[in-house]
Amino acid sequence: MNDIAIRCEGLSKQYRIGMRGPYKTLRDTLTDAMYAPFRRVRSAFQGNGKPADGVDTIWALKDVSFEVKRGEIFGVIGRNGAGKSTLLKVLSRITEPTRGRAEIHGRVGSLLEVGTGFHPELTGRENIYLNGTIIGMKKAEVQHKFDEIVDFAEVEKFIDTPVKRYSSGMYLRLAFAVAAHLEPEVLIVDEILAVGDIAFQEKCLGKMTNVAKEGRAVLFASHNLPTVQHLCAGVILLRQGKTEAIGQPQDVIGLYLSEAANEGKVSLRGWTDRSTTGEARLLEVEIRNGQGDLTNRIPVGGSVSFVFRMEFYRPTADPTFGVIIHNTLGEPILDVRSHHSGFRPGRVSGQVIVRARIEKLGLYPGRYFLSPWISDSTAKRDIDYVKLCCALQVDPAPGPFGDLKLDSRWGKYWVQSDWQSNG
Amino acid sequence: MDNGVSKNALPTLLIEPGRGWAPLKLRDLWEYRDLLYFLTWRDIKVRYKQTALGAAWAIIQPLFTMLVFSLFFGGLAKVPSDGIPYSIFAYAALVPWIFFANGLSQSSNSLVGSAQLITKIYFPRLVIPISTVISGVVDFALAFLVLLVMMLYYGVVPTVNALWLPFFLLLALVASLGVGLWLSALNVEYRDVRYVVPFITQFWMFVTPIAYPSSLLSEPWRTLYGLNPMVGVVEGFRWALLGANTGPGPMIAVSSAASLMILISGAFYFKWMEKDLADVV
């Protein structure tokens, strides 16, 4: 009996990016059919065998091969558009691969979204059954686990209320609860833990770890690097549809982060791993040391300035700015934001330059990564959020008390402290 | 934990690019029968919860059409009705017809309407149009109750032939699903199908003997007329309930064969289109 749960060999998926949009109309097909003979003649004269109808193709996934063992949680990481979702969709049988093959041993359950098929008019009870059978459970199975699901979701009182009257938190908890009780031999999960409150996320992570302990396999795609590091036995890094690396989480995550630019001045114009509304765009980040020189190497306790160049495409009142500083695991370590310092720029539009200065940056020596962002006046709705785009190197340096031995096993951030004794 | 699956009997799933005509995988469909049940049940529940008139709609539609037909075709144009009171003659045909027409138009929109499900989770896609058509049975049952009341009023006593009714209902369901499969799959690829659907149902109604009897035709044309599956259904209903002289014969055999052909070809076309479904819907 082999212990392989998922085996992919050369899995590839090609998409057409037609110029006409996702679907055709009968008229298009009819006119196509009329012109097709002429086109064939023309292309015969031109001598290229390519279809001449302006259809472009893109490989969303190209030659991806890996194995996942039973009892293992396997992570899939990569930037937006790297092919994570496509890989999960192919393995969940939502879409067919163009080439290659995959074998999955055991019943597959996939959760690319929570609450798929939830209907607002139906009650919590009704939605549990509906959603449960949609994600692949049998009616008897849902019946058997019903009380457990309701307990897990903490919605006993509202179980016969239509879910349109639920708070968004309750709605999510119920959706998660159903998902968490799916017990296939192979579980495919996409990023669903990115929502919901921390306590609930931990409950779900615990559930996933249990699944692995029971000898099932989990394939887990996520942006949340600390979680991947913590949970996964192996990780694959995808880049533009291709396998960039497969291996131990720490190594692969390190490689993933090394894509961040390692300079004092970083252009963000071509950076695609961002979530943006299109109202404004970060164009460039500069990092300057205490002397005002462009560099991304800062001594411990030294001062640093960030200069963000951005463009607002429509006038925006009092936007907030910030930068998240992550460690090499992708964990956010520092949350630096304009409105915490009372900065209100008023109404802005067009090209804007924003500077932030930190005196005595006390990060322990090591590599860090920046995610700059622009948000609305309440800092609740992100306008542009550029993920892990540039690196910051903090170097050991003699501080005011000599050469400090700062070991990141004991701490992450250095602060000056005053000590007294009554002796 | 155990879920009844022993370790050495794990099913193996192969994921490969499909080539040519896909098998129907009816076994897979059977595996998902609980989903079929809940989707049907959701359709019924939501329909009656969301509309103000709820169940009344199921009755109003055939009843008013019958009134208009009785007034213009039965009353003014004096269309023959096989010796049966015209209003019950028309209504007995309208009940299965509206079941067919609603099933057809709702199922042809069902895939596009379920895009959210289709792009997020796997299940045999056939479940969607099938559940849509089946959920129409409740509307049918309500309209049928009115038919029973009318029979009581006109003193029509059903014969033992009424035992055939489930067969004719099944025939209407098969025809509705067959056409629905074709249209729902076409609708994914060509969005103008949904503009064609109302035209198709209207046209189809006129070529089906609802306002008039098929006895206006002589043989062999009457048998050929059965190529329209709804001819067999409608005349079957009149025969089984009202004792019209349109009993099982070559016409109904032709209608049954035509329905089956539409269903089978529709299912294969649907399956063939299914592999690209999540990418285009």
Could you list the pLDDT tens digit for every one of the 281 residues in chain B?
A: 344 444 456 788 888 887 766 777 888 888 899 999 999 999 888 888 766 677 788 888 889 998 999 888 888 888 888 788 888 989 999 999 999 999 999 999 898 888 889 998 999 999 999 999 999 999 999 999 999 999 889 888 888 888 889 999 999 999 999 999 999 989 888 888 888 899 999 999 999 988 888 878 777 787 888 899 999 899 889 888 887 776 668 888 899 999 999 999 999 999 888 877 888 77
B50 and chain A: CB distance < 8 Å anywhere?
yes
Mean pLDDT score of chain A, rounded to an integer? 85
* Contact call for A96 and B5, based on CB within 8 A: no
pLDDT at A7: 93
B9 and chain A: CB distance < 8 Å anywhere?
no
Of A91, A95, A126, the CB nearest to B279: A95
β-sheet bridge partners, residue A61: A13
B5 and chain A: CB distance < 8 Å anywhere?
yes
B192 and chain A: CB distance < 8 Å anywhere?
yes
* Contact call for B278 and A106, based on CB within 8 A: no
Mark the ranges of chain A whose per-residue pLDDT is less than 50: 1, 19-22, 47-54
Of B16, B190, B278, the CB nearest to A24: B190
Tens digits of per-residue pLDDT, B9-58? 678 888 888 776 677 788 888 889 999 999 999 988 888 876 667 778 88
- Write the burial class of residue B236 (CB in 10 Å: 0-12 exposed, 13-18 middle, 19+ buried): buried
| ipTM for this prediction | 0.84
Q: What are phi and psi of B27, to 5 degrees?
A: -65, -40
> Distance from B127 to chain A by nearest Cα, in Å?
11
B2 and chain A: CB distance < 8 Å anywhere?
no
Query: What letters, b where the CB count within 10 A reaches 16 and e where it falls short, cover B16-31?
Result: eeeeeeeeeeeeebee
User: In chain B, what residues touch A96 (CB-CB under 8 Å)?
Assistant: 15-18, 275-276
For A29, which residue in chain B has the nearest alpha carbon? B190
CB-CB neighbours of A194 under 10 Å: 11
Return d(Cα A113, Cα A175) in angstroms, integer. Answer: 9
User: In chain B, what residues touch A100 (CB-CB under 8 Å)?
Assistant: 16-17
Contacts 24+ apart (CB under 8 A), B29-37: B29/B124, B29/B126, B29/B127, B32/A133, B32/B123, B32/B124, B32/B127, B34/A133, B34/A137, B34/A138, B34/A139, B35/A133, B35/A134, B35/B123, B35/B127, B36/B127, B36/B130, B36/B131, B36/B134, B37/A133, B37/A139
Q: Using DSSP, how many helices (H) and how many strands (E) does chain A show?
A: 8, 22
* Contact call for B34 and A134, based on CB within 8 A: no
* Contact call for B190 and A29, based on CB within 8 A: yes
Distance of CA A288 to the CA centre of its chain: 29
* Contact call for A23 and B191, based on CB within 8 A: yes
Which value, in Å, is the radius of gyration of the alpha carbons in chain A? 26
> Distance from A128 to chain B by nearest Cα, in Å?
11
| A·B CB contacts under 8 A | 128
pLDDT at B7: 47
Of A91, A107, A112, the CB nearest to B5: A107
* Contact call for B116 and A185, based on CB within 8 A: no
CB-CB neighbours of B160 under 10 Å: 7
Of A15, A26, A214, the CB nearest to B192: A26
B275 and chain A: CB distance < 8 Å anywhere?
yes
Q: Which residues, other chains included, contact B105 with Cβ-Cβ below 8 Å and sequence gap of 6+?
A: B197, B198, B201
Q: What are phi and psi of A9, to 5 degrees?
A: -130, 110
> Distance from B180 to chain A by nearest Cα, in Å?
18
- Write the burial class of residue B140 (CB in 10 Å: 0-12 exposed, 13-18 middle, 19+ buried): buried
Q: How far apart are the first and last CA of chain B?
A: 38
Q: Which residues, other chains included, contact A11 with Cβ-Cβ below 8 Å and sequence gap of 6+?
A: A61, A63, A64, A65, A87, A90, A97, A99, A100, A101, A102, B15
Q: Indicate the helix (H) or strand (E) that contains A140.
A: helix A139-153
User: In chain B, what residues touch A88 (CB-CB under 8 Å)?
Assistant: none
CA A43, A46, A49, A52 torsion-angle sign: negative
Contact A400, A300 (CB under 8 A): no
User: In chain A, what residues touch B49 (CB-CB under 8 Å)?
Assistant: 121
* Contact call for A117 and B8, based on CB within 8 A: no
Return d(Cα A186, Cα A70) in angstroms, integer. Answer: 8
User: In chain B, what residues touch A17 (CB-CB under 8 Å)?
Assistant: none
Of A15, A103, A106, the CB nearest to B14: A103
Of A23, A119, A121, the CB nearest to B280: A23
* Contact call for A112 and B7, based on CB within 8 A: no
For A133, which residue in chain B has the nearest alpha carbon? B35
Contact A78, A156 (CB under 8 A): no
B19 and chain A: CB distance < 8 Å anywhere?
no
Of A25, A106, A136, the CB nearest to B190: A25
HEC profile of A314-380: EEEECCEEEEEEECCCCCEEEEEEHHHHCCCCCEEEEEEEEEEEECCCCECCEEEEEEEEEECCCCC
Return d(Cα A300, Cα A397) in angstroms, integer. Answer: 6
User: In chain A, what residues touch B15 (CB-CB under 8 Å)?
Assistant: 11, 90-91, 93, 96-97, 101-104
Return d(Cα A229, Cα A136) in angstroms, integer. Answer: 29
For A102, which residue in chain B has the nearest alpha carbon? B15
Query: What letters, b where the CB count within 10 A reaches 16 and e where it falls short, cover A282-311?
Result: bbebbbbbeeeeebbebbbbbebebbbbbe
For A92, which residue in chain B has the nearest alpha carbon? B122
User: In chain B, what residues touch A15 (CB-CB under 8 Å)?
Assistant: 279
> Distance from B24 to chain A by nearest Cα, in Å?
16
DSSP track, chain B: ---S--GGG--EEEE----SSPP--HHHHHHTHHHHHHHHHHHHHHHHHHSSSTTHHHHHHHHHHHHHHIIIIIIIS----TTS-HHHHHHHHHHHHHHHHHHHHHHHHHHHHTHHHHTT--S-TTHHHHHHHHHHHHHHHHHHHHHHHHHHHHTPPP-GGGGGHHHHHHHHHHHHHHHHHHHHHHHHHBTTHHHHHHHHHHHHHHTSTTSS-GGGSPTTHHHHHTTSHHHHHHHHHIIIII--S--SSHHHHHHHHHHHHHHHHHHHHHHHHHTTHHHH-
Of A113, A141, A183, the CB nearest to B1: A183
CA B2, B7, B9, B15 torsion-angle sign: positive
**Which has the closest alpha carbon to B275: B102, B94, B21?**
B21
> Distance from B191 to chain A by nearest Cα, in Å?
6
Q: What are phi and psi of A297, to 5 degrees?
A: -110, 120
Q: Which residues, other chains included, contact A364 with Cβ-Cβ below 8 Å and sequence gap of 6+?
A: A300, A394, A406, A407, A408, A411, A412, A413, A414
pLDDT at B103: 93
Of A29, A102, A107, the CB nearest to B11: A107
pLDDT at A170: 86
Q: What is the DSSP letter of A274?
A: E
Of B13, B188, B280, the CB nearest to A104: B13
pLDDT at A329: 82
CA distances from B169 to A332, B95, B174 (A): 63, 10, 9
* Contact call for B120 and A107, based on CB within 8 A: no
User: In chain A, what residues touch B193 (CB-CB under 8 Å)?
Assistant: 26
Contact B242, B84 (CB under 8 A): yes
